[in-house]
A and B are shown apart, each in its own frame.
Chain A
Amino acid sequence: MARAPAPHPLSRNLPHDLGGQAGYRYDFGSVQADEPVFSETWHGRALAVTIAAAAHGKWNLDASRHAR
């Protein structure tokens, strides 16, 4: 019997298709209503560095998701 081809690295069942999956519990009643935009200063820097570097077009959205 022919073997199935190896899946493309990006086709694995990564945690990017969570819709309806069971097993993720969290009580949204405990969500912090006035969460700051950046809860740590470096979070804003990480976002900005990512956006600025993305201008070079070296990765697309799928690669970006895969890296998270």
Chain B
Amino acid sequence: MPHDHDDHAHHLLPSDPELKLKALEQILLDKGLVQAEAIDEIIDSYAHKIGPHRGAELVARAWTDIAFKEQLFENTDAVITEMGFSGRQGEHVVIVENTPECHNLVVCTLCSCYPWPLLGIPPSWYKSDAYRSRAVSEPRTVLAEFGLELAEDVSVRVWDSTAEIRYLVLPMPPDEISGLSWQDAAQYVSRDAMIGTAIAAAPLPDKG
């Protein structure tokens, strides 16, 4: 049935890529090449279960437990596996530690390699052409735009991810976490602090 309006473009139809996706998904389902339950499970995992809270746990435990931190640097992949945080796009993780002398920043100039099991799906800016090119050519300017002004005597080390190796920044612990449990300290660890575009800081107030 025609459904035209003079005063506005109607949006009853999904967008073009969404339609293509529906068609593709239906073909794959009809042919038995993918299962609907698997698709739902993958969506649920990345929407609710796998995200920066995992990386934050790792960082907060490293801050609050020196033995754990030593283990983490000695045998990173084994520790991550033991925590149940291994998996797709995070098989080989390298932890890079911020110090008063050196700040670390992670990028993937090739595409958007990212430690999925520890941080979830990368934000759209991480995948942008601008971030991928400028994080290498002018990291201090990029950091300043993110609101992070580094002193001139702090060096910046940029890590370019690969298909095999994913990097996670271990930020410096803020003074406030002294004496806190790792569970409380984890509240100070943001996703961006583990990418390197921010430092660890008090959590933003909950918007409710």
Please report A residues at the B interface, Cβ cutoff 8 Å: 15-29, 31, 33-35, 37-40, 42, 44-49, 51-53, 56, 61, 65, 68
- Interface size of B by CB at 8 A reads 47
Given contacts A28-B146, A35-B124, A42-B21, contact A65 B133 (CB under 8 A): no
B25 proximity list for chain A (CB < 8 A): 45, 49
B136 with A19: CB separation less than 8 A: yes
Q: How far apart are B60's CB and chain A's nearest CB, in angstroms?
A: 20
A48/B18 in contact, CB under 8 A: no
Indicate if B70 sits at the interface (CB-CB under 8 A). Answer: no
- Cα of A52 to Cα of B106 in the assembled complex, Å: 28
Chain B interfacial positions (CB closer than 8 Å to A): 14-15, 17-18, 21, 24-25, 28, 33-35, 38-40, 42-43, 46-47, 51, 88, 107, 109-111, 120-121, 123-125, 128-134, 136-137, 142, 145-147, 160, 163, 197, 204, 207
* Minimal beta-carbon separation of B47 from chain A (angstroms): 6
Interface pair B109/A17, CB less than 8 Å apart = yes
A15 near B129 with CB under 8 A, answer yes
